[in-house]
Structure 1
Amino acid sequence: MSGKQRVFIGDFVHCKTLDTLEILEDTAIFVDEEGVIVAIERGCDLKKAEEISIPRLGWVKEDVMVRVARKGQFFFPGFVDTHIHAPQYPNVGIFGKSTLLDWLTTYTFPMESSLKDLARARSVYTRCIKRTLSHGTTTAAYYATIHVATTNLLSDLCLANGQRAFVGRCCLDSLSPDWYIDESPAQAIKDTRATIEHIANIDPSNKLITPILTPRFAPGCSTELMTQLGALHKETNLPFQTHISENKGELDLVKELFPNSPNYTSVYDSHGLLTPKTILAHAIHLDESEVDLIIKRQSKVSHCPCSNSSITSGTCKVRWLLEKGVEVGLGTDVSGGYSPSILEAARQASLVSRHIAMSGDDKAKLSIEEVLYLATRGGANVVGLEQKIGGFEVGMEWDAQLIGLGPNYWSEDEGNPECVKALEGVEESPVDMFGWENWEERIAKWVFNGDDRNTLAVWVKGRLVHEIRK
């Protein structure tokens, strides 16, 4: 995919476990032509890499691209957005005082319906992809619209821009305006198959783009449609994404529409839609039995704290889910969420957990290490790519971002506070550094103060897909 061997030299930070960050200082990571990490060497500078390590790998120095991180910079794994609606991108930050069901009618369905137009869709999707890449999102699980042509266009644009993506045509045959609805379950399945076939044509091995079955949510899908999607899920073994237990009004609606099901989770389970490849967004109002069923079926949860707060859906008890054994990742849920940044989702996940703690459950608080894990390895687990992305290990693919914290100052002599030099970072940074911060403090300041100005470069599968040019 990348077509050239690469060496990255400097400091590397990644999550080893849910609560452990590993710092690899003065390290070199070697990436082959396919974007796969083939070697990691600590205590390796540019000279050693060129004179010893590169020849030892059988590579020719002149054919290898080398990127050396400067003082104040570090490499971090790419973020994984486990839940994002690409056609809603123009509406980021627009939600008024609405809650879920009226928000769909007022803002969402009109915007999604308008993206039947190819030119309009190209403009929206291109900007969405480029914006998420600029925030370090190397993998995204996208909801598209009900339209085949523009869903296919989203797949094309993700591939062209080098973003790893799961792209799903949205299925919706109930409780939607007559100007934005699948005409029948049979047509919904036919159109879904068309998008699956398109992705098979443009990326046969799913190196970057993977189709994902996408019913909007149970109230928007008839029993017949969900049954047929369950059969398609079983036939293709493709991943599956939907919403669950986002809003209390939604729960009441599910009870009304599916009176024979004991709860929301069982609705999906009874249609064959609760499997190890299922991503359930929100999962705010689940009861104990529902979580037990999710664990039994090995389904996953996308936590969307920005959206949950923005449209007043509720607070998801992430610590409870994790302790029960549920795999959890982060989602921006654009445009229920106001930001396309997973870094913003991570800080909001931390803050929401503190609100839960203020209700008397102090252990609910999520640490910096934990929210960064959810943003990387946790997200990789949710989308089924835990063997490929989420960390820096031999055999994993180089999905990474270069973070710069500067230009501020570092001290040459800690005993002389007047002896300082400018950090070589970004020209403008929202993160102020003073030189005495340790790694834990640097990472914390990035999480709570950083934004896309700190994301200097982004790679997916070894390919440079975004860079701030000076």
Structure 2
Amino acid sequence: MSGKAVEKAVYLGTFAHSKSLKELEIAHDAAIFVDESGKIVAVERGVADEAAAKSFFPKLNWTESQEKPIQIIKSKEEQFFFPGFIDTHIHASQYPNAGIFGKSTLLDWLNTYTFPLESSLSSLPTAHRVYARVIARTLSHGTTTAAYYATISVPATNLLADLCLAAGQRALIGRCCMDSLAPDYYRDAGPEESIAHTRATIAHIASIDPTHAIVKPIITPRFAPSCSSQLLTGLGKLQKETGLPVQTHISENKREIDLVAELFPQSKSYAEVYDSHGLLGPKTVLAHAVHITDEERALIKERGAGISHCPVSNAALSSGMAAVRTWLDDGINVGLGTDVSGGYSPSVLEAVRQALMCSRNLAMGEGGEEAERRKLSVEEALYLGTLGGAKVVGMEGRVGAFEVGMEWDAQLVGMEEVGLEGGFEGADGGAVDIFGWESWENKLAKWVFNGDDRNTLAVWVRGRLVHERRS
């Protein structure tokens, strides 16, 4: 069943999605109608069964036939439909190292673990093995869109795009650009080569997905220290020429910030380095931003760039705790990133709960009302993992929620109801136990803090079933 296109489909049951940063809507006895292009064409309430759903077919000019049946998928008790997660920052090439970071800080970790692994993916069989697994794994965790960093290898980066398209995962694919401050065995020969190779990947993706319906290229200067000023300038011109999005890192680690100041003394800040090279704009995704200054925040807001909050890797590499509430108060678009493999998990749900814990850790240093204000709510963290992420990667109005005109990127989440025997019969339905007294707000909170991929029963991208959990 997985991977097969659906002509038209109706989804019935319970739905949860973000309406805004503060509001998470939970709707029961609802129906969402999805056409053959994967777009939501109607959302109806008070639809309890198939017969009620079919009564809307004439209104939509839908007709059933044996050749083109309309599939009806209904959530069961303790199940709900939720938008697919959007991972705004993940290194596909680093997946084999997930959970391996030792006692390193960022710059040591890059040289010890990351660059050797990434360079090994110039072997296409190795790249295929790694990329196929990270796509499968992220889909199994409900990630329907991922902003991937690949490597400097054009063939391997193109392979990642091919595999995402074949699997049906929506993806932004970035060939890493880096012509300085990297090992001799793993760097671009110079800015001209780096830009030419980036153009080659852009052309390849245009050849396999001309409208960027599923796969889209994203210009990817790894981070300022690994790029010469000439390369950053060239990539800024390429962005202006193509209109493509940009992804990079900023202010993840204090040693890194000091290095940027040393390498780019003419710039007042890390953010200004990107801005002065034409790389800071409304299509820019800035990962981490843990230590950005007030002036940098103002510049990021003015340029309309978004931030990918990566709480798992920020903690794992001892980089620091990001003040997400401040960003949100400033009106900056914020999404969540797993940052595999600095982050140990490919699960955006893990990033959701760690964003919650990071905000609580920050609140411990405050008092009174300010401490409460610092803390993110479950509703806010889920927004960051869906609708907030959609804004960061330039897909607002297209994915991240269940509204007419959006595409059906969704996951079916199931939780286990504990029987009268108290669970002695076994607990193989995931880590979320439901006892029957919980409100639906309680149930979603239990899923956020206890859930994992065992709770992700099915995943769709643009109406296509791309993952189904084996029973």
* TM-score bucket (shorter structure): over 0.9
1:428-443 mapped onto 2 (5 Å cutoff): 428-443=429-444
Question: Displacement, 1:469?
Answer: 2.5
1:379 to 2:389 alignment: yes
- Secondary structure in structure 2 of the residue aligned to 1:250: helix
Distance in 2, matches of 1:253 and 1:224, equals 18
Distance in 1, matches of 2:328 and 2:452, equals 27
TM-score when scaled to structure 1?
Answer: 0.96
- Secondary structure in structure 2 of the residue aligned to 1:35: coil
1:20 to 2:30 alignment: no
1:54-453 mapped onto 2 (5 Å cutoff): 54-62=57-65, 63-360=69-366, 361-362=370-371, 363-409=373-419, 427-453=428-454
- Secondary structure in structure 1 of the residue aligned to 2:454: helix
**Runs of 4+ with deviation above 2 angstroms:** 45-51
Question: Displacement, 1:137?
Answer: 0.2
Partner amino acid, structure 2, of 1:450: G
Question: Displacement, 1:407?
Answer: 4.1
Distance in 2, matches of 1:276 and 1:343, equals 26
- Secondary structure in structure 2 of the residue aligned to 1:156: helix
Report the RMSD for the aligned CA atoms in angstroms.
1.5
Partner amino acid, structure 2, of 1:285: H
Is the Cα–Cα contact under 8 Å of residues 47 and 53 in structure 2 kept in the other structure?
Answer: no
Is the Cα–Cα contact under 8 Å of residues 82 and 141 in structure 1 kept in the other structure?
Answer: yes
TM-score when scaled to structure 2?
Answer: 0.95
Partner amino acid, structure 1, of 2:36: E
Question: Displacement, 1:225?
Answer: 0.2
Distance in 2, matches of 1:229 and 1:51, equals 52
Distance in 1, matches of 2:470 and 2:253, equals 43
Is the Cα–Cα contact under 8 Å of residues 135 and 169 in structure 2 kept in the other structure?
Answer: yes
Is the Cα–Cα contact under 8 Å of residues 2 and 35 in structure 1 kept in the other structure?
Answer: no
- Secondary structure in structure 1 of the residue aligned to 2:179: coil
Partner amino acid, structure 2, of 1:26: D
Q: How many residues align?
A: 459
1:27-38 mapped onto 2 (5 Å cutoff): 27-38=30-41
Distance in 1, matches of 2:418 and 2:203, equals 51
Name the residue aligned to 1:415.
none
Distance in 2, matches of 1:196 and 1:249, equals 33
- Secondary structure in structure 1 of the residue aligned to 2:447: helix
Partner amino acid, structure 1, of 2:364: M
Partner amino acid, structure 1, of 2:437: W
Partner amino acid, structure 2, of 1:436: W
Question: Displacement, 1:93?
Answer: 0.2
Structure 1 unmatched runs, 5+: 410-417
Is the Cα–Cα contact under 8 Å of residues 11 and 74 in structure 1 kept in the other structure?
Answer: yes
Is the Cα–Cα contact under 8 Å of residues 55 and 61 in structure 1 kept in the other structure?
Answer: no
Question: Displacement, 1:54?
Answer: 2.1
Is the Cα–Cα contact under 8 Å of residues 145 and 151 in structure 1 kept in the other structure?
Answer: yes
1:455 to 2:456 alignment: yes
Distance in 2, matches of 1:393 and 1:317, equals 30
Partner amino acid, structure 1, of 2:439: N
Is the Cα–Cα contact under 8 Å of residues 173 and 216 in structure 2 kept in the other structure?
Answer: yes
Question: Displacement, 1:429?
Answer: 1.5
- Secondary structure in structure 1 of the residue aligned to 2:12: strand
Is the Cα–Cα contact under 8 Å of residues 407 and 427 in structure 1 kept in the other structure?
Answer: no
Distance in 2, matches of 1:337 and 1:50, equals 43
- Secondary structure in structure 1 of the residue aligned to 2:56: helix
- Secondary structure in structure 1 of the residue aligned to 2:32: strand
- Secondary structure in structure 2 of the residue aligned to 1:59: coil
CA deviations on 1:45-72 (whole Å, 9 max, x unpaired) are 3333454112332222342011011111
Distance 1:334 1:153, change over 3 A: same
Distance in 2, matches of 1:55 and 1:106, equals 62
Is the Cα–Cα contact under 8 Å of residues 31 and 53 in structure 2 kept in the other structure?
Answer: no
Is the Cα–Cα contact under 8 Å of residues 50 and 72 in structure 2 kept in the other structure?
Answer: no
CA deviations on 1:404-442 (whole Å, 9 max, x unpaired) are 011424xxxxxxxx7x999xxx94220111001001100
Partner amino acid, structure 2, of 1:35: G
Question: Displacement, 1:370?
Answer: 0.4
Is the Cα–Cα contact under 8 Å of residues 417 and 436 in structure 2 kept in the other structure?
Answer: no
Question: Displacement, 1:19?
Answer: 1.1
Is the Cα–Cα contact under 8 Å of residues 245 and 264 in structure 1 kept in the other structure?
Answer: yes
Name the residue aligned to 1:413.
none
Is the Cα–Cα contact under 8 Å of residues 205 and 217 in structure 2 kept in the other structure?
Answer: yes
Partner amino acid, structure 2, of 1:37: I
Partner amino acid, structure 2, of 1:25: H
Question: Displacement, 1:3?
Answer: 5.0
CA deviations on 1:234-288 (whole Å, 9 max, x unpaired) are 0000000000000000011011101111111000000000010000000000110
Structure 2 unmatched runs, 5+: none
